[in-house]
Chain A
Amino acid sequence: MTASDVKIQVDKVYKIFGNRADDAMAALQAGAAKAEVLHKTGCIVGLKRIDFSIRRGETFVIMGLSGSGKSTLIRHFNRLIEPTSGRILVDGCNIMDMNAKELLAFRRTGISMVFQRFGLLPHQTVLENTICGPILQGVDQREARARGMEQLELVGLKGFENRFPRQLSGGMQQRVGLARALTTQADVLLMDEAFSALDPLIKSDMQEQLKDIQARLKKTIIFITHDLDEALHLGDRIAILKDGELRQVGTGEEILFRPADDYVERFVRKVDLSRALYTHDAFAKVPVLTQAQATGDRTTALLRQHPAVIVVHGAKLRVLTSAEPDRANCAASIDATATLGQSFPLLADQEAIVVMDSGAPVGILTREMAFKALSRSHGAANKLSPASLLPSPVA
């Protein structure tokens, strides 16, 4: 990755809670363990030598269980919490060097945040909450309201602008939180367990909405979660944090199939693979013919070499399989970038579906292929664990 791709760089950040931070730092530098530091100095090590960088426009997920330091870490990016030592560079500029005025300007225009329990002002309307950023920036009311309405429309809350937060459901409140964060037009979006307080259906709706918005706006998103499925679904890259230390940074696939250590490996064991694998990992390429090309001889010849042939007839896609060479079944289609899980409902009705790449048919996905891909990955993800020796149900 080149320097210009890097949006945020975290450079040897330590955070120590307690009165004797200097002693604790010295002890840590000398190689003391966290328990030892606590025993000697009474200080708690919140973050220990955190080092990573985040690319422009990526969704970077920081994952860990409670107490891992993830909420502490995310609050360093807008200095709600100050590190004990280390630097955080945003666009090459160290935010620790900012004075009070620069920090205010940075918080107003450079970075915004979505909170787990929404953090909305209960005495202000949805619209007033949404425009809190621009109002603090000093934008005039009319312009701010126009901007706020635009964002509320984007998150699907048009018509609710004069309600108060408590009149809204949890999911809707968090949409207000999201709209508020987007209204500042900051490049960087911090999301602190933003969807953790929502029930599962609303949660997945919100995840889709975030992906939609991200596809359009290309923000740099730092997303905190304790939910691996969510991390795999949303994250371009994932960092795994345990006890204030970074265990692994990588893509979802790297985390799943090449866990850096035992902890990560145990962490990923229970993941829902159908959301981590994509259709393009599982499908088979097959020849594609037009209706005119699909003569009996030609298809018979092709079916000897390939499991199936796709025949395009106008907007309809039909699949000829070697099992049933005479019957062309109309088939549903799925994009190659969809997760394997998304193909399940289609495969429930049909033996085979057509896989599309950039709008053109390229191959088919059968139940067997999907099943094989899952069991292959399941084996890979579990190859270190003795549990995989026992017969275990496919995830």
Chain B
Amino acid sequence: MADNFPELFDTRGLRFAIDDGFSWVVTNYGDTLERMLGPLLKLLGAMEAFLQWLPWYVTIAGVALLTYSASRNLRMTCSAVIMLFFIGAVGLWNDAMATVALMLAATAVAVVLGIPLGIVMARSDWLRSVALPLLNIMQTLPIFVYLIPFVMLFGPGKIPAILATVFFAIPPVIRLTDLGIRQVDGEVVEAIVAFGATPGQKLMKVQIPLALPTIMAGINQTTMMALSMVVIASMIGAGGLGYQVLQGIQRLEVSRGLVAGIAIVFLAVIFDRIAQSYGRRAQKHLDNGE
């Protein structure tokens, strides 16, 4: 059926050009890129293997300790233990550990890239005006749109999954690092400069410590977004809990999908609690100077 909108000029040429250009990149640089990202794949594999090797009670004890040291709240700690126990009991332990490994690796990459980007963005208004719309696009562009080129470049597997997750999850940490640094009291920054701080000292002694609660909030959001990507990432071979959900859909097994879905929610709750408690503690430290 003809489109209701008249064809003013032929856009097929442009689309072919994009497709051909991308195919050219894939054939010529695909292998190189894949080799470059080899270490990332190794890191992810090692993390996954480690988490799956670690006895379950050690993992649960570790998470309990982390939750307690962050929140100093016994109820929160107990609920984290119960939730992890549930995940193990329904037979999803290894899948959950694979998901956690993917999430942690993606978050680590996002933080390592995102914080410096946020710092640079806070220094330049021009860069900010360019970066903000880009970040908006990254967050609103349907995920599948950038899943396609990643899969074409690397083939289905863990590398495109982790890259797509990083791409999707990085905007909050960049945004909130930028925001946090810009919100630091100008007079405090001025004071440290007046006493002879170099730009590096200004950053490390004032801007980052004072922006830390905001940066932590960014990391928390990034973690959550990384977790929310796991189902989609499983479609391109990331495995883990997302794969269980996917199978549930494909086989119309409501129970499988439901249980795996609940496990994902539990992981999200645990990580959110830990990250938020750390953020609150950082904030409290600034407020009352504990």
Contact = CB atoms under 8 A, between A and B. Distances in A.
B40 interface: no
B197 A136 contact: yes
Interface stretch (A50-58, A106-114, A214-222): A106-114
Interface in A95-138: 104-109, 111-113, 115-123, 125, 132-133, 136-137
B214 to A, nearest CB: 14
Contact of B187 (A111, A116, A184): A116
B210 A122 contact: yes
Contacts of A118: 187
Interface residues of B, number: 22
A119 B188 CA distance: 4
Nearest to B194: A113
Contact of A80 (B190, B206, B288): B190
Contacts of B289: 122-123, 125, 163-167
Q: Which of A108, A119, A132, A163 has the most CB of B within 10 A?
A: A119
B201 to A, nearest CB: 7
A78 interface: yes
B198 interface: yes
Interface string B246-290: 000000000000000000000000000000000000000111110
Given A165-B289, A166-B287, A120 B188 contact: yes
Contact of A78 (B187, B192, B194, B198): B194
A119 B288 contact: no
A136 B201 contact: yes
A121 B196 contact: no
Interface string A308-344: 0000000000000000000000000000000000000
B195 A104 contact: no
A133 B194 CA distance: 9
B132 interface: no
A192 B22 CA distance: 59
B191 interface: yes
A136 B195 contact: yes
Q: Which of B195, B209, B288 has the most CB of A within 10 A?
A: B195
* Interface size band for A: 20 to 34
B210 A184 contact: no
Contact of B196 (A104, A117, A166, A180): A104
A79 B209 CA distance: 25
A107 B288 contact: no
A100 B209 CA distance: 25
Contacts of A105: 196
Nearest to A103: B196
Nearest to B197: A136
A166 B290 CA distance: 10
A119 B210 contact: no
B286 A119 contact: no
Contacts of A137: 196
Contacts of B286: 122-123
A186 to B, nearest CB: 9
B209 A123 contact: yes
Contacts of B197: 136
B35 interface: no
A244 B185 CA distance: 26
Contacts of B285: 123
Interface string A350-382: 000000000000000000000000000000000
Contact of A107 (B188, B196, B287): B196
Given A120-B188, A122-B286, A167-B288, A80 B210 contact: no
Given A122-B210, A164-B288, A136 B196 contact: yes
A88 B48 CA distance: 63
A121 B205 contact: yes
B193 interface: yes
A122 B286 CA distance: 6
Interface string B176-193: 000000000101101111
A106 B190 CA distance: 15
Given A123-B285, A123-B286, A117 B195 contact: no
A133 B209 contact: no
Contacts of A180: 195
21 contacts: A104-B198, A105-B196, A107-B193, A107-B195, A108-B196, A113-B195, A115-B190, A117-B187, A119-B185, A119-B192, A120-B191, A121-B205, A121-B209, A123-B210, A132-B192, A132-B195, A133-B195, A136-B192, A164-B289, A166-B287, A166-B288
Given A115-B187, A136-B195, 5 more contacts: A78-B194, A80-B194, A115-B191, A116-B187, A136-B201
